[in-house]
């Protein structure tokens, strides 16, 4: 008869044992574990991006380990334990769904949360990646009715911000230093602000279109990297050295790569 699968309680007991008998685990604190928590979250994200089920299972386990580690640390100082973490989670999720676990009315979560905040920035981590933070700020603003009803408003806003960027560049073209990089100046700061407004408007457009800007940009990054690596392979095959190839030649190879992808997508040789 096969042994029963380990339970949540078994995992908590293992973490307690590691704290008692492993020198490294015993030496850790909430502060020292912060980098590992972030690293494990990113590794889960990588597994999802790769579509690797086995790896996802493993990385979720590593992330769960971090949750258990922090819970046992809190338990040791008498603050709370893993059971309390689970209890809080269950209560929170039921509270988010009053129409499913009570006699409440279905309501958007951000609107419900807005009733408990004094500001849309309350509890929003400063260290969130900028695209994610922009998305969350806009979601929270939408929770207090500061939002366009559809995509037309955000589309117009993107066009408006792009016009302002064009105007800023036309009035004060960025000056390059000896290394070729733009020189920092008051004008450069103004352009930074205008480009930030444009990016923020693009995030809002993505959100209203039902797309997370961070995921869209991640896919664009992957597509650009894939295509440019193909350009680099073409250059090597033709005896060309990247960095010494004129832009028009690189553009031509880029178009070749894109055309090849289209043919492959449509099953043509």
Alpha-carbon distance of 177 to 185, in angstroms, equals 11
Provide mean pLDDT across the span 99-112: 82
Query: What number is the average pLDDT over the span 162-177?
Result: 86
**Listed range (121-135, 142-156, 226-240) with the worst mean pLDDT:** 121-135
Cα of 103 vs its chain's centroid, Å: 35
* 107 phi/psi in degrees, rounded to 5: -150, 140
Do residues 243 and 231 lie in contact, with contact meaning Cβ atoms separated by under 8 Å? no
Residue corresponding to tokens 């990113």? 42
- Structure-block tokens of residue 159: 């066009």
Nearest of 165, 170, 208, 212 to residue 190 by alpha carbon: 165
Task: Give the pLDDT band (50/70/90) at residue 19.
Answer: very high
pLDDT band, residue 74 (cuts 50/70/90): very high
| Contact in structure between 256 and 226 (CB atoms under 8 Å) | no
Give per-residue pLDDT as tens, 177-214.
Answer: 666 666 656 667 888 899 999 999 999 999 999 999 99
**Does 12 score more than 70 pLDDT?**
yes
Rounded Cα distance, 106 and 138, in Å: 21
- How far from each other are the two terminal CA atoms of the chain, in whole angstroms? 55
Q: 43: pLDDT confidence band, cut at 50, 70 and 90?
A: very high
Please classify residue 68 by burial: count the beta carbons closer than 10 Å to its beta carbon, then call 0-12 exposed, 13-18 middle and 19+ buried. Answer: buried
Confidence of residue 82 (pLDDT cuts 50, 70, 90): very high
The answer, yes or no, to whether residue 226 has pLDDT greater than 80, is: yes
- 3-class SS shares of the chain: helix, strand, coil, % to 5: 70, 0, 30
* pLDDT-based confidence at residue 127 (cuts at 50, 70, 90): confident
pLDDT for the residue numbered 124 = 87
Q: Which of 214, 43, 67 is nearest to 139 (CA)?
A: 214
Distance, in Å, from the CA atom of 76 to the CA atom of 207, rounded to the nearest integer, reads 42
pLDDT score for 231? 96
pLDDT at 130 over 60: yes
Cα–Cα distance measured from residue 100 to residue 90, given in angstroms and rounded to the nearest whole number = 13
What residues contact 199, with CB distance under 8 A and at least 6 apart? Answer: 134
Q: Work out the pLDDT band at 268, boundaries 50, 70, 90.
A: low
CA distance 16 to 10: 10
Span 133-152, average pLDDT? 94
Q: What is the mean pLDDT of residues 6-29?
A: 96
Confidence at residue 135, expressed as pLDDT on a 0 to 100 scale? 95
């Amino acid at each position: 008869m096969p042994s029963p699968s380990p339970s949540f309680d078994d995992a908590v007991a293992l973490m307690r044992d590691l704290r008692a008998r492993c020198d490294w685990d015993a030496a850790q604190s909430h502060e020292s574990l912060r980098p590992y928590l972030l690293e494990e979250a990113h590794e889960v994200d990588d597994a999802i991006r790769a579509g690797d089920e086995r790896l996802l299972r493993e990385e979720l386990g590593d992330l769960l380990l971090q949750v258990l580690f922090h819970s046992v640390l809190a338990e040791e100082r008498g603050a709370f334990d893993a059971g309390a973490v689970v209890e809080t989670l269950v209560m929170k999720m039921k509270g988010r769904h009053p129409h499913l676990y009570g006699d409440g009315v279905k309501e958007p979560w951000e609107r419900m949360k807005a009733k408990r905040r004094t500001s849309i920035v309350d509890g929003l981590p400063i260290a969130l990646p900028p695209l994610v933070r922009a998305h969350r700020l806009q979601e929270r603003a939408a929770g207090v009715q500061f939002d366009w009803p559809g995509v037309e408003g955000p589309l117009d806003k993107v066009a408006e911000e792009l016009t302002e960027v064009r105007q800023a560049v036309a009035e004060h073209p960025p000056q390059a230093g000896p290394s070729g990089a733009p020189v920092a100046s008051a004008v450069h700061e103004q352009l930074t602000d205008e480009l930030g407004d444009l990016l923020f408007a693009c995030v809002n457009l993505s959100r209203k279109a039902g797309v997370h800007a961070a995921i869209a940009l991640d896919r664009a990054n992957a597509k650009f990297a894939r295509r440019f690596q193909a350009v680099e392979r073409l250059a090597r095959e033709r005896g060309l050295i990247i960095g010494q190839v004129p832009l028009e030649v690189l553009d031509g190879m880029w178009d070749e790569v894109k055309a090849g992808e289209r043919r492959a997508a449509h099953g043509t040789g």
